[in-house]
Amino acid sequence: MAKRCLKCIISGRVQGVWYRAHTQTQAEKLVITGWVRNLPNGQVETLICGEEESVTMMQTWLTKGPPMAKVLNVEVEEVSVEVHKEHTEFKIID
């Protein structure tokens, strides 16, 4: 199975709506590793790594987010799968 890693920046109403916690829950369901954090400008940044199909499903989820979020945009950057080796779980970073 092919591995894939994406760095995503999510814009909209994504802070103060449990976006990071829901992202972690979804990532764990899909066996995704990486991290998620709030950015000072009100956006959320995440690194998602895993099997290609799981990463695609996670990317789709990020465009919706949890019920109280209002996602306006998701910028996606493909990153080296070598990053995947650095992460064994999915963490919320402060």
- Mapped to the 3 state alphabet, what secondary structure does the chain carry? CCEEEEEEEEEEECCCCCHHHHHHHHHHHCCCEEEEEECCCCCEEEEEEEEHHHHHHHHHHHCCCCCCCEEEEEEEEEECHHHHHHCCCEEEEC
Q: Are 47 and 5 in contact (CB under 8 A)?
A: yes
Residue tagged active-site, from 37, 38, 41, 73: 38
Is residue 20 annotated as a catalytic residue, yes or no?
Answer: yes
Residue tagged active-site, from 20, 37, 41, 73: 20
Q: Which residues are catalytic?
A: 20, 38
